[in-house]
Amino acid sequence: MNEYKKLTNEVGAPVADNENSITAGPRGPVVIQDVWLMEKMAHFNREVIPERRMHAKGWGAYGKLTVTHDISRFTKAKVLQPGAKTDLFIRFSTVAGERGAADCERDIRGVAVKFYTDEGNWDLVGNNTPTFFIRDVQNFSDLNRAVKRDPRTGRRSAQNNWDYWTLLPESFHQRTIVMSDRGIPASFRNMHFFGEHTFSFYNEKNERFWCKFHFKTQQGIKNLTNEEAAKINGMDREYHGKDLYDAIERGDFPKWTMYVQIMTEEQAKKHYENPFDITKIWRHGEYPLIEVGVLEINRNPENFFAEVEQAAFTPAHVVPGIGFSPDRFLQGRLFSYGDAQRYRLGVNHNQIPVNRAKVQVNEYHRDGAMRVDGNYGSTPAYTPNSYGVWTAQPEVMEPPLDIEGAMYRYDPKDDPTDDCFRAGGNLWRILEEDKKQVLIENTVADMAPVTKNIKYRHAVHCYLADPEYGERFTKAAGLDMEKVKELSKLDHNGLVRATLSSEM
Ligand code: HEM
């Protein structure tokens, strides 16, 4: 053990003095010859890596997925076969705040899971809501600019946030969820999470099914009010991180029950709205939850930077039996994450232990900054080759997918089946009275700094979702109900034109 107590430099040579720099004379300047000092300062200057562009503030832990039910009729993925137990790493995050932001802000929460399966890593990168604000990847950077800092003031701006949200009617359902009591969870342990997108499964017979992933907390849903959250944020900005860490340390391992919803290809063709639109949900009454297993978290990381900050998840990482869907939002994500991580962590980030697959990795990628394995030694670096090295495995090929229509920039709002307010209205109608009141109060408080024209846009959306929702928001926000009714007769473009001026 004694050996470990000896301080060394970065290549193992002993360091003589870690307190007193070498100076020319007892009161003289420091000399460059103090190479230990140079190394120490130079390393420190490079210790900050870029934070994640979104979801910068987060906490992670290890756990396992145990499959308790049989869904092999839908998927051949080994990780989802009955009895399978798979190690995982999970990271929870807020979305808008930077790395130093407070945990208990009103926001959606990201939940990213990396399953270290026997067929390679499967990453499910979801949120604590079953839907999302927007549905085209083109909108994604704009959404983040609207919810992040204003370019002039450097401050977060409710005006920018609500201006953007209300110009995209498809964000209505998600707006309602974020403003509801669920907008500030009491802890990560007390919330559900979802894959959100439609993904696909294919079974041993190569039959495809569309699916959605749901994880329901076994700890029960608990949320914070604005007042409780404000108090906590003032005292402990790392409140959710501490809660998770402490629960694991005391052996109170949080658990979620995993479910899937399944839609056949035939059902999808006849579905009353686009089943691949992330702003829509599949109603449980029509597509019931099918139980899969239990996800448990049971071990804290040893080092935050190495394991949590350097964790890299991407929806592009799937395993045989699990696939994507035509969801245009998901398609955009398939590129974005790996690209961001090549910048944030480097091209070889999948060699970092928390990201490394537990199975043998045989790829032809070579070289690149920070290559820390043997770079495959003398193994041929090209394919095809005549040496029988690493051939593709056609047996894991997904079934072909029929695509319809001409290539074009289609606006989903032009789809006659598109209804941006149905799901938000349905949610309003099932809320208990006290939850309705909280939703209205939270929305009014959040929109307090916002100009009236934007409040009218939101009021119209509430009214279109459910007249009671519209009337109660309108009254609480001090708006004119007759005006809301008039504006609600306009189409989307008409409403936008009528509410452009803050003078209205
Ligand atoms: C087209 C839409 C989207 C794009 C382009 C996008 C892109 C990104 C990027 C670039 C990151 C940072 C990755 C990193 O630096 O490691 C990120 C993080 C994240 N995103 Fe998205 N995102 C999109 C939509 C979504 C949606 C719909 C969800 C949830 C279903 C989601 C969940 C997350 C989560 C949980 C993280 C944090 C992952 C972690 O803990 O490391 N994102 N996203």
pLDDT digits (tens, 9 = 90+) for 268-282: 999 999 999 999 999
CA of 360 to the centre of ligand 1 (A): 27
pLDDT digits (tens, 9 = 90+) for 402-449: 999 999 999 999 999 999 999 999 999 999 999 999 999 999 999 999
pLDDT higher than threshold 60 for residue 129? yes
Confidence band of 354 (pLDDT split at 50, 70, 90): very high
Atom of ligand 1 nearest to the CA of 136: 1
CA of 202 to the centre of ligand 1 (A): 25
Q: Which residues, 6 or more positions from 45, have their beta carbon under 8 angstroms from its beta carbon? A: none
Residue with tokens 């110009």: 167
Strand positions, DSSP E, 78-162:
85-94, 109-117, 120-127
pLDDT higher than threshold 80 for residue 3? no
pLDDT, position 388: 84
Percent of the chain predicted with pLDDT > 90: 98
Task: List domains and CATH numbers for the chain.
Answer: 1-47 (4.10.91.20), 58-351 (2.40.180.10), 421-498 (no CATH)
Per-residue pLDDT, averaged over 313-338, amounts to 98
Residue 426 CB-density burial (10 A; 0-12 exposed, 13-18 middle, 19+ buried):
middle
Confidence band of 8 (pLDDT split at 50, 70, 90): very high
Residue with tokens 């504006």: 487
CA of 306 to the centre of ligand 1 (A): 20
Sign for the CA dihedral angle at 398, 403, 408, 410 comes to negative
Mutation choice for ligand 1 from 336, 343, 344, 354, CB with most ligand atoms inside 8 A:
336
CA of 112 to the centre of ligand 1 (A): 9
Atom of ligand 1 nearest to the CA of 111: 35
CA of 125 to the centre of ligand 1 (A): 7
Nearest Cα residue to atom 32 of ligand 1? 126
pLDDT, position 5: 84
Percent of the chain predicted with pLDDT > 70: 99
The model carries a pTM of: 0.97
Residue with tokens 């920070």: 370
Q: Is 246 in a helix, a strand, or coil?
A: helix
pLDDT, position 252: 98
Mutation choice for ligand 1 from 88, 103, 125, CB with most ligand atoms inside 8 A:
125
Average pLDDT over the chain, rounded to whole?
A: 97
Atom of ligand 1 nearest to the CA of 137: 1
Per-residue pLDDT, averaged over 330-344, amounts to 98
Confidence band of 503 (pLDDT split at 50, 70, 90): confident
Cα–Cα distance, 375 to 389 (Å, whole number): 15
- Which residues are catalytic, by number? 55, 127
Per-residue pLDDT, averaged over 129-134, amounts to 98
pLDDT, position 182: 98
Sign for the CA dihedral angle at 42, 45, 49, 53 comes to negative
Nearest Cα residue to atom 8 of ligand 1? 337
pLDDT, position 4: 64
- CA-based R_g, the chain, Å: 26
pLDDT digits (tens, 9 = 90+) for 302-318: 999 999 999 999 999 99
Nearest Cα residue to atom 17 of ligand 1? 54
Atom of ligand 1 nearest to the CA of 344: 15
Atom of ligand 1 nearest to the CA of 112: 35
CA of 331 to the centre of ligand 1 (A): 12
pLDDT digits (tens, 9 = 90+) for 160-204: 999 999 999 999 999 999 999 999 999 999 999 999 999 999 999
CA of 336 to the centre of ligand 1 (A): 8
Confidence band of 502 (pLDDT split at 50, 70, 90): confident
Mutation choice for ligand 1 from 173, 240, 279, 337, CB with most ligand atoms inside 8 A:
337
pLDDT higher than threshold 90 for residue 258? yes
Mutation choice for ligand 1 from 49, 51, 53, 55, CB with most ligand atoms inside 8 A:
55
pLDDT, position 501: 87
Q: Which residues, 6 or more positions from 123, have their beta carbon under 8 angstroms from its beta carbon? A: 112, 113, 114, 115, 313, 314, 315, 316, 317
Nearest Cα residue to atom 22 of ligand 1? 333
Please give all residues whose beta carbon lies within 6 A of any atom in ligand 1, as ranges.
52-55, 58, 91, 93, 110-112, 125-127, 132, 137, 140, 196, 311-313, 329, 332-333, 336-337, 340-341, 344
Task: Give me the half-sphere count of Cα atoms (radius 13 Å) on the Cβ side of residue 355.
Answer: 20
Residue 431 CB-density burial (10 A; 0-12 exposed, 13-18 middle, 19+ buried):
middle
CA of 372 to the centre of ligand 1 (A): 27
